[in-house]
Amino acid sequence: MFYLNGIPICIRQLDVVDLKYSFYDVMSLTSEENIQLINTFTVTDLFDNLNHDHKIFVIVSLNTNSVIGTGTIKIINQNTMYSVCIIKGIKIHKEYYNSENSENSENRLIRATNNPNITNKNEEDLYTIFLQYLINYSRHEEKCVKYIVKLDDVDDKT
């Protein structure tokens, strides 16, 4: 948990509570692929499928207990020594961007990868904080030797 402009924010994996109480928020912020997964599987089957090679992360505002952002990590070659993580589909509700909102995605990506330890989160863009969290999760929790950040899911047909 951290504070962004006085608002308590939490980043975590998608949970049953998110689908139960923030369903429309999740569906409006997630990718088409994730919408199809959520609509296709039952809750139990969905989380069994997500825990293997596909992980959906959410940003939750603890003031309102609503989902304000989503992102996806797909893990390739998970059962080998050289797994690769693809980070994609990062979407954040427009009300939670701060003054750096006008900066484009490429500049935020460069800043996030060059600054692995964000110390003052109030001065950082929520997108950058979320991207850095997903990168750290890929490297430390999933032990990926490489991560790929896809900025646009327009060309992604998988």
Q: In this structure, is the dihedral angle defined by the CA atoms of residues 34, 65, 136 and 47, taken in order, positive or negative?
A: negative
| pLDDT interval class at 156 (50, 70, 90) | very low
pLDDT at residue number 118:
45
pLDDT for 113: 56
- Over residues 65-94, mean pLDDT: 91
Separation of alpha carbons 115 and 132, rounded Å = 8
- At residue 114, the pLDDT reads 56
Distance separating alpha carbons of residues 147 and 19, to the nearest angstrom: 28
Q: What is the pLDDT of residues 134-148, one digit of tens each?
A: 999 999 999 999 999
Range 2-149 has CATH code 2.40.50.140 = no
**H or E element in which residue 40 lies:** helix 32-40
pLDDT score at 111:
54
What local confidence, expressed as pLDDT, does residue 152 receive? 66
For the chain, what's the residue count? 158
First to last CA, the chain: 33
Q: How far apart are CA 56 and CA 18, in angstroms?
A: 11
Residue 79, classed as helix, strand or coil, is coil
36 pLDDT more than 70: yes
The b/e string for 123-149 (b: 16+ C-beta within 10 A; e otherwise) is ebbbbbbbbbbbbebbeeebebeebeb
pLDDT in tens, 12-25: 999 999 999 999 99
Mind listing the pLDDT tens digit for each residue in 105-123?
555 555 555 555 444 444 4
Q: What is the pLDDT of residue 80?
A: 82
Q: In the prediction, which pLDDT does 110 show?
A: 57
| pTM, two decimal places | 0.80
pLDDT bucket at 44, cuts 50 / 70 / 90: confident
